[in-house]
Structure 1
Amino acid sequence: MPIKIPNNLPATHVLEGENIFVMDADRAYSQDIRPLKILILNLMPIKSVTETQLLRLLGNTPLQVEVDFIYTESYVPSHTSQDYLTEFYGTFAEVRHKKYDGFIITGAPVENMEFEEVAYWDEVAEIMEWSKTHAYSTFHICWGAQAGLYYHYGIKKHQVGEKIFGVYKHHLCVENERLLRGFDDEFFVPHSRHTENRKAEIEKVPELTIMAEAETPAGPYIIANLKRRQFFITGHAEYDPLTLKAEYDRDVKAGMNPNVPSNYYPDDDPTQPPIVRWRSVAHLLFANWLNYYVYQETPYELDELNKDDMD
């Protein structure tokens, strides 16, 4: 089934070129079907890149998905024009009265700051509180995961001595959990961050389960409160093949002398094309989330969501 996105969104052309079925709003409204309603709080500066990465995965399932995008009013990104935001995005004030099957919070380039120092922290905290009663399941990515663990459970992030940068081997920590259905015993996922959440601190919170983790230094990868259908993803399965390369090349050009991303280039040689090891994992992760934690359980009429559903 297709993913329904705003008319004229630039990601449409990229996705159609990859044979991912998309439809614009006009065609979707003519169909007699109740699509899954997903809200995305996109905190990345260049909105279109993150949009395409997420829509590629949300659109590659048998389910029809309708996506709304919002940005923060308390801090307007400088890398995306106001015209673009006006055409394709809304604000929290415009959607706070709605209910959603699923909610995604992206990463953000602010991980070296304390949460309370981030210009839009109060707004993000308000949105995360709202999500407890207005979104059936939430999916937090990278900084979004750290922010969610901090806001909901008081788990702090910690600076690491050397940037966690590369494609790391992971293993499963639980058996027979639906989110991980189809995963291999070992799998690879990209990470790119200067901070971490420590396993020992996560394990002190009884509501949380570490579902998958990576070899050192990446650590816990998927953390969940399964009862509340909250998922905290510390890596970037959604990354494009060249995302890490672009980041590495940027830092080299800036004279930052970065480490070559681990397990990314053949023989760690950045003159060679990188090897993609995470594509299937990304599709499984998002498809399983949509199917088992959103589609299978959310009520047909979203207005019927109540406190009992969210507990």
Structure 2
Amino acid sequence: MPINIPSKLPAYDVLENENIFLMDDKRAVTQDIRPLNILILNLMPEKERTETQLLRLLSNSPLQVNVEFLHTATYESKNVSQSHLHQFYKTFDQVKDRRYDGMIITGAPVELLPFEEVDYWKELTKIMEWSKTNVTSCLHICWGAQAALYYHYGINKYTLPQKLTGVFRHYIMNSTVELLRGFDDEYLAPHSRYTDVPEEEIIAHDDLLLLSSSEEAGAFMAMSKDEKHVMITGHIEYDAYTLSEEYQRDIAKGLETAIPKDYFPKNDPEAKPLNRWRSHAYLLFSNWLNYYVYQETPYEWD
């Protein structure tokens, strides 16, 4: 089924060329159905790239999906034009009186800072608190997952000796949850981060379930037992070239960054990387939308 986004959004042409089923506002209003309303708090610096990555995965839905983008009012992004933000994004004050079926909080390049020292931390905690009553299910990605584990469950992150970057093997820890329905016992997913969360604290927490883990990359997927929060510590939404471009960016900055593990063919940074996690990325987002958003959200919010 289609995903409903503004036809002037840069991601629209990219996704249309990929044969993703899209719908603009004019066509959407002619359909007599109740769409899912998804709010995306985009904290990534290259917002247009993240928009495309997430919208691509949200397109594989059983229902029409309306998407709105949110940006922080307390921090001005330096990597996106203000006209783009004004045209396609809202601030929390503009949406705080609404209710949403689902919400995605992305990663952010602030993981080496203590949470309280992030410029928009107070604003983010206000949004996460609001989500408890105004959102059916929240999907948290990378630093967004670490922020959720810290704010909602008191689990802090710690700094790794070096950047964790590459494509890693993951294993299912709990095969009974619907979020992992259809997953292989072993699957691949990308990581790109300098910090980690203690897996043993997730396992020991009374309100959390560890769903999937990696021997090299640690805890990958966790979920609250009330099924309201899903935390993903990696970047399964990344496209094939994202890790490559991050690696080249780090090298250009003079950083001592290792070649992303098991990513480039023959470990050659000049070789074309392949996307070997796409199917599970689609499956994860489809399961989240179906079982934790569509099946759980009320038809009419009171």
Supply the distance in 1 between the matched residues of 2:301 and 2:27 (Cα, whole angstroms): 22
Aligned-pair identity in percent equals: 56
1:239-268 deviation line (CA, Å, top 9, x unaligned)? 010000001111122222321100101221
* Paired residue secondary structure (2:169): strand
Aligned to 1:85: 85
Determine if the alignment matches structure 1 residue 301 to structure 2 residue 300. Answer: yes
What letter matches 1:258 in structure 2?
T
Supply the distance in 2 between the matched residues of 1:47 and 1:275 (Cα, whole angstroms): 23
Q: Structure 2 regions of 5+ residues with no counterpart? A: none
Determine if the alignment matches structure 1 residue 255 to structure 2 residue 254. Answer: yes
Q: Structure 1 regions of 5+ residues with no counterpart? A: 304-311
CA RMSD in angstroms, aligned pairs only: 1.0
Aligned pairs for 1:161-172 within 5 A:
161-172=161-172
Task: Determine if contact 2:36/2:66 at 8 Å carries over to the other structure.
Answer: yes
Task: Determine if contact 2:227/2:292 at 8 Å carries over to the other structure.
Answer: no
What letter matches 1:203 in structure 2?
I
Supply the distance in 2 between the matched residues of 1:27 and 1:41 (Cα, whole angstroms): 26
Supply the distance in 2 between the matched residues of 1:171 and 1:203 (Cα, whole angstroms): 15
Determine if the alignment matches structure 1 residue 55 to structure 2 residue 55. Answer: yes
Supply the distance in 1 between the matched residues of 2:282 and 2:83 (Cα, whole angstroms): 32
Most deviating of 256-265 and 187-196: 256-265
What letter matches 1:30 in structure 2?
T
1:60-97 deviation line (CA, Å, top 9, x unaligned)? 22321001111000001011111111100011000000
What TM-score results when the alignment is normalised by the length of structure 2? 0.98
1:248-290 deviation line (CA, Å, top 9, x unaligned)? 1111222223211001012211121112210001000000000
Aligned pairs for 1:1-311 within 5 A:
1-216=1-216, 218-303=217-302
Most deviating of 60-69 and 159-168: 60-69
Task: Determine if contact 1:142/1:234 at 8 Å carries over to the other structure.
Answer: yes
Task: Determine if contact 2:62/2:290 at 8 Å carries over to the other structure.
Answer: no
* Paired residue secondary structure (2:45): coil
* Paired residue secondary structure (2:37): strand
Q: CA deviation at 1:30?
A: 2.1
Supply the distance in 1 between the matched residues of 2:182 and 2:151 (Cα, whole angstroms): 31
Task: Determine if contact 1:101/1:302 at 8 Å carries over to the other structure.
Answer: no
* Paired residue secondary structure (2:66): strand
What letter matches 2:49 in structure 1?
V
What letter matches 1:195 in structure 2?
T
* Paired residue secondary structure (1:191): strand
Supply the distance in 2 between the matched residues of 1:78 and 1:175 (Cα, whole angstroms): 42
What TM-score results when the alignment is normalised by the length of structure 1? 0.95
Supply the distance in 1 between the matched residues of 2:256 and 2:122 (Cα, whole angstroms): 35
Q: CA deviation at 1:47?
A: 1.1
Task: Determine if contact 2:145/2:233 at 8 Å carries over to the other structure.
Answer: yes
Supply the distance in 2 between the matched residues of 1:229 and 1:193 (Cα, whole angstroms): 25
Task: Determine if contact 1:168/1:189 at 8 Å carries over to the other structure.
Answer: yes
* Paired residue secondary structure (2:286): helix
Task: Determine if contact 2:140/2:231 at 8 Å carries over to the other structure.
Answer: yes
Task: Determine if contact 2:44/2:109 at 8 Å carries over to the other structure.
Answer: yes
Supply the distance in 2 between the matched residues of 1:21 and 1:88 (Cα, whole angstroms): 20
* Paired residue secondary structure (1:302): coil
